[in-house]
Structure 1
Amino acid sequence: MLIAEFCRRAELTRDAVRLYVKLGLIRPSTGGAGSNRYQHFHESDVDRVALIKVGQQLGFTLKQIVTLNREYETGGIDRPRRLAVMQAQLAQVDEKAAQLGKLQSYLRAKVAWIEAGELGDEPSFCGLEAVTQMLGKGKQAV
């Protein structure tokens, strides 16, 4: 399939496809000498993009995916290495989940406080001041 069809099937922009090709994550074939130089993508490329998207949803950066892909292709990912990578990623996901849990609790308390007519003490988010200072905005009412 040509790039337009591949973009549609893989749900990627042309720029994203070009980046993936440049990074070596997908390798379309091209016509031989004397024929057109169009890139031809295959069903396996669509599958590979789906796998890349799963990796990104798990929190892996594109740079990490490229590195892991190179290791995989050279046979460098044995069981202990796979386990270490997955354990490290799980720890990062757990940390993000804990942060989201705190945000969720704060938002629920804030919604309940507003629904109750903003009576009593306003819910505070522990650490909110540090976050807003990091953004250069100082302490703000939320």
Structure 2
Amino acid sequence: MRIGELSKQAGVSRDTVRYYERLGLLETPTQPHATNTYKRYSAVSLQRIRLVVHAKALGFTLAEIREVIEVWDSPGFDTEQKVACLQRKLDELEEKSRALSALRVGLRNALDKVGRKCEDTEDVE
């Protein structure tokens, strides 16, 4: 598919596709005809963009996302290394999830107290 179709299906701009390509987040598109400059993107590129958009929405940086993609694509990593690296990322995700849960509890507590009189529970002498 060409960049217009890819960007439309992924819900991002053409500039975003080009930017992700420059960052190495996408496979190198092919140019099937030497007579024009049209690039052809694969279904993998569409999946990658959707992954990037979703991961960014969850708070991951492009650098963190690129690291995972590089590990996945790297022929220099054996299976054990890939598993270890991806497990570290999964552990980081679990930690972020716990932190978000704690923040959610704090925000709900604050929300419950909105409009109430502030009361100290400690005695001041």
What is the TM-score of this pair, normalised by structure 2?
Answer: 0.70
Give the equivalent residue in structure 1 for 2:20: 20
Q: Deviations over 1:35-58 (max 9, x none)?
A: 221222233322333344455567
| Secondary structure class of the residue paired with 1:29 | coil
Alignment of 1:14-93 (within 5 A): 14-24=14-24, 25-33=26-34, 35-53=35-53, 56=56, 61-93=61-93
Alignment RMSD:
2.8
Shift of 1:20: 2.1
Q: Is the 8 A contact 1:9 1:46 kept in 2?
A: yes
User: How far, CA to CA, are the matches of 2:67 and 2:97 in structure 1?
Assistant: 25
Gapped regions of structure 1 (runs ≥ 5) = 123-142
Deviates more, 1:54-63 or 1:16-25: 54-63
User: How far, CA to CA, are the matches of 2:64 and 2:101 in structure 1?
Assistant: 26
Seq. identity, %: 30
Higher RCO (CA < 8 A, seq sep 6+): 2
User: How far, CA to CA, are the matches of 1:100 and 1:75 in structure 2?
Assistant: 35
User: How far, CA to CA, are the matches of 1:113 and 1:83 in structure 2?
Assistant: 45
User: How far, CA to CA, are the matches of 2:89 and 2:112 in structure 1?
Assistant: 34
Amino acid paired to 1:62: L
Q: Is the 8 A contact 1:30 1:38 kept in 2?
A: yes
Amino acid paired to 2:48: R
| Secondary structure class of the residue paired with 1:118 | coil
Question: 2:108 matched to 1:99?
Answer: no
Q: Is the 8 A contact 2:71 2:85 kept in 1?
A: no
| Secondary structure class of the residue paired with 2:91 | helix
Gapped regions of structure 2 (runs ≥ 5) = 121-125
User: How far, CA to CA, are the matches of 1:46 and 1:18 in structure 2?
Assistant: 13
Q: Is the 8 A contact 2:21 2:27 kept in 1?
A: yes
**How many residues are paired up?**
119
Question: 2:117 matched to 1:119?
Answer: yes
What is the TM-score of this pair, normalised by structure 1?
Answer: 0.63
Distance change >3 Å, CA 76–CA 49, structure 1 → 2: same
